[in-house]
Structure 1
Amino acid sequence: MFMFTAFQTHLVFLFSLSMSIIYGVFSASNLIAPSVVAVIGPQLSMFFSGLLYSGYIAMFIYPYTWSFYTASVLVGIAAAVLWTAQGNVLAINSSDSTIGRNSGIFWALLQFSLFFGNLYIYCAWHGHVHITDKDRQTVFISLTVISLVGCFLFFLIRKPDPESSNSEVSEPLLLFLRDLNSLCYRMPRVLMAFLLISVQACKIFVTKEMLLLSVSIGYTGLELTFYSGVYGTCIGAMTRFGQDAKSLIGISGICIGVGEILGGGVFGMLNKCNRFGRNPVVLLGLITHFVAFYLIFLNIASDAPLAPEAGTDLQAYISPSVGVALLCSFLLGLGDSCFNTQLLSIIGFLFRENSAPAFAVFKFIQSIMAALAFFYSNYLLLHWQLLILVLSGFMGSMTFFMAEWHAESSRRESDYDSI
């Protein structure tokens, strides 16, 4: 929550090319991320990745072209390691009965970043016609400090160890020194670990379950690009929303965050029972997104994604409504939480013994589709982008249903064998 309050907030300043670079490197780096997590452990992986995130945010205090592109590459690498380690931590601290609940709690806390970050930007810059260098530096110094706080909070994450569960818990600093010392002795095995885990990730990628889930994962990458980059740009480009159109981008981000938080919290509690499985939640997400896409199609001009600076005077099929636009933001966040919480849950359930490679495959597929979407968002009109989302969302939901039915049958067979 702390780290992504800083990172997600800065997205309003970026253009599509930079995001394509980040997600392109992100996708490629997922090939090495499981090896890094296996060698130095998930806790240190998250910490060092967090430092790169903080350095990336700090770069905006005094930005230069060379530092901007260098930091974009480094944060792409850090993102792959961070998300792989996060999935590993989530899996090893959950059981089959709690993985769904914990995924929902994690997602809700993470998405508080959208709420706090966009609220901060809106309050800090509301009414400013021109953003000065001092305004920008103040914001990014604050965001850098927030990111560093989140980075050091990773040391408070528990490390389950059944053999020493009754012993006294070590201090975070002692754990850090112990892991760092252990790393020095394990360095000769880094190459072997990389090869073995890369083979393991490839094997997971071609399993029936992951191939089915890959369509749904790919959809989350496409809609991630849409709600985090494209839709806010469209709202800001609508001159018919008045002089406050640009400030609506921040409010839209807040509404997306509210939808994400509500979805993560509610679906996390529903997963505690897990009586009906994951399919109803994914179906709800699909319906929610389809309603949002239809309202956006009616409310936002088709050339809005291509006119972020100049704006557009065109009208869609209804008189442009700020209320409808913000409702769609909420629905986009709610639907996104439906898909992501259930994907985290089912991957943690199916690949518990190999969670790091499995989550690396998950982020590889998602990030490469997000990079693709950031690329085509510069050229396609809004209605074509919505059509791509509708088709991929439908296909992704169908394949998720098949993967869930397969997982449920496997669980029942396992329960029968144990009895």
Structure 2
Amino acid sequence: MSSVTCAANPAFEADASKDEKIVTSHAEFTLSPSNADADAQESRRIFRDVCCVAAGFFLLFTSYQSMANLQSSINKEYGTIAQSIIYATLLLSSLFLPTLVISQLGARNTIAVSMLGYSLYTAAQFYPTAYTLIPSAAILGLAASPLWSAKCTYLNLAAQRYAKLTGQNREVVVTRFFGIFFAFFQSTQVVGNLISSLVLTQDSVWVNSTDPALLRCGATFCHEESASNASLIKDISDTQRYTMSGIYLAFALAASAFIMAFVTPLSRHCDDAVVRSSTGRSPTQQLLATLRHLRNPQQILIIPFTFWSGLMQAFLSAEFTAAYVSCGLGVYMVGYTMICFGVFDALFSYCCSPMVKRVGRVPIFCFASLLHSCLIAVLFLWVPNPEQMYVFFVIPALWGICDAVWQTQMNALYGVIFPEDSEAAFSNYKLWESSGFIAAYICSNLICVTAKLYILAGSLALGFIGYVFIEIFEYRKNKLS
């Protein structure tokens, strides 16, 4: 669920003007007449808490993201169905649950409790059936939105207080805190996938490059015909499943315990009333605002690109891992290839913002669109072959570069074109990106990879066309202002 960023669950991120109103209208953001040493001590505590929140998410998503990457390979019947249920319930919960849960539990406790929903889904991996995976997936989806919204609330209010204590610009501090968070978060792809690869390497079988079944891998792969590929896509042993699930469950449970043990409640830094009121609109108000925002022409234009964002993330985790890596090399290599994706995604995410400042947003979007189009063309034509080992790593690496652009700049674009109603705009972001995930996972077992690649290419083309019109509107608006 790497696509779920703070901006993807933004109902709790107010824009700059709203934040300033909160700061000026509540006494807790006014520095008390304490001495400089006390202020410095509190600022250090806030910084430590932010790092601890990031570390807790690192533990949790080391477990979840790596397990999600394997669902289409190790749980062929129900894995992708469960993933679609996760995003469907997340979509519903994002409209109704976060405000209610955070107002009752507070941000810190909401994070810790919501993490237990992920632990339940990880525990279901010990015995993955319809009766374990599907209910636990629904619970995870319900927990996911409060989790991410509480994280956004915690980091935003902590940044406001820290900026007040240190005399720094609020926006600079917010950017720094979220940068720290995502530095931890992007590392989960490396550590988690390394664990899965090391466990699954045991008793693994190397695929013979002359095996005729390889011709059924790649674009011609169909999940419903995967039984005919049994010589290539083997079920993991019970020992491997229990070992991997046990490690991941320990990480998930440790995440919740870590948050409760080391993260200070926001009420320690801010007045508790502000923490509970900072969640913005009521669920009904948020839903109505989200629907009203669909009347905005630019929101309509950006929907295809937002849908594409969810679609392409789900394709990598569900289709590339099964149809290309598991089929062409073996399931034990999925983790190694996804490590490559995670490393390049993290590195380019760090470099993306400075590049945008240097060359502008339009060239970066054009570069990512062109590169992703080339990757889709390669996936159409390339038949996975163990003798071309480097290709299995180059594709996810380049995919990670593109994903870094979509995740960082799509969020930024929403903030730029919808500055007056960021909450409703980002709720639509979550709505349409989740719809892309849902569509991809539902189609996973229904159509072959070739059809999915056509859908992927069409979605990218339509999204880019909408983006071009948005830039034209922005250019004309700036020219007139």
Q: TM-score range by the shorter chain?
A: 0.7 to 0.9
Over the aligned positions, Cα root-mean-square deviation in angstroms equals 3.8
What is the aligned partner in structure 2 of residue 358 from structure 1? 425
> Aligned partners of 1:285 and 1:405: how far apart in 2?
19
Mapped to 1, the partners of 2:247 and 2:438 lie a distance apart of: 28
Q: Which residue of 1 aligns with 2:94?
A: 30
Q: Which letter maps to 1:113? A: T
Number of residue pairs aligned between Structure 1 and Structure 2: 375
Q: Which runs of 5+ in 1 are unaligned?
A: 157-170, 302-314
Please list every run of 5 or more consecutive structure 2 residues that lacks an aligned counterpart in the other structure: 1-57, 160-168, 205-234
Is 1:283 paired with 2:366?
yes
Q: 1:167 — aligned with what?
A: none
Correspondence for 1:8 among 61, 65, 87? 65
Query: Which amino acid is the alignment partner of residue 81 of structure 1?
Result: P
Instruction: Please name the residue that 1:46 is paired with.
Output: 111
Change (3 A) 1:3 1:268: farther
Task: Indicate the SS of the match to 1:214.
Answer: helix
Q: Which residue of 2 aligns with 1:80?
A: 145
Counterpart in the other structure of 2:26 = none
User: How do 1:207-222 and structure 2 match up within 5 A?
Assistant: 207-222=296-311
After superposition, the Cα gap between the structure-2 partners of 1:295 and 1:63, relative to the gap in structure 1 and judged at 3 Å, is closer
CA contact (8 A) 1:33 1:360 kept: no
Cα distance in structure 2, aligned partners of 1:152 and 1:123: 26
Deviation at 1:10, TM superposition (A): 1.0
Relative to structure 1, the CA distance from residue 386 to residue 68 in structure 2 (aligned partners, 3 Å threshold; closer, same or farther) is closer
Alignment identity in percent?
A: 22
Relative to structure 1, the CA distance from residue 280 to residue 96 in structure 2 (aligned partners, 3 Å threshold; closer, same or farther) is farther
Counterpart AA for 1:123: L
| Equivalent of residue 382 in structure 1, options 436, 439, 449 | 449
Look up the match of 1:159: none
Amino acid at match of 2:194: L
Preserved contact between residue 108 and residue 263 of structure 2 (Cα < 8 Å): no
Q: Is 1:400 matched with 2:467?
A: yes
Name which of 295, 304, 321 aligns with 2:388.
321
1:112 is aligned to: 187
User: Which of 331, 342, 345 is residue 412 of structure 2 equivalent to?
Assistant: 345
Q: Pick from 191, 195, 202: which aligns with 1:127? A: 202
* CA-CA distance at 1:201 after TM superposition: 2.2
Q: Which letter does structure 2 place at the counterpart of 1:196?
A: Q
Q: Which residue of 2 aligns with 1:300?
A: 383
- Classify the secondary structure of the residue corresponding to 1:16: helix
C-alpha deviation, 1:222, in angstroms: 0.9
**Maintained 8 Å contact 2:309/2:433:** yes
Say yes or no: does 1:265 pair with 2:350: yes
Alpha-carbon deviations, 1:8-55, whole Å to 9, x = none? 111213422221222222223232145347735655443332221123
Counterpart CA distance in 2 for 1:210 and 1:345 is: 14
For 1:168, the equivalent position in structure 2 comes to: none
Paired position in structure 2 for 1:20: 84
- The offset of 1:391, in angstroms, is 1.7
Other structure's SS at 2:95 match: coil
Give, in angstroms, the shift of residue 254 of structure 1. 1.3
1:153 Cα deviation from its structure 2 partner: 5.9
Matched residue SS, 2:447: coil
What amino acid sits opposite 2:123 in the alignment?
A
What TM-score, normalized to structure 2?
0.66
| Aligned equivalent of 1:312 | none
Most deviating of 55-64 and 102-111: 102-111
Asked if 2 retains the 8 angstrom alpha-carbon contact of 1:83 and 1:363, the reply is no
Q: 1:385 to 1:102 in 2, by over 3 A?
A: farther
Residues 123 and 205 from structure 1, CA distance in 2 versus in 1: closer, same or farther, beyond 3 angstroms?
Answer: same
One-letter identity of the residue aligned with 1:264: S
User: Do the aligned residues in 2 keep the contact of 1:278 with 1:404 (CA within 8 Å)?
Assistant: no
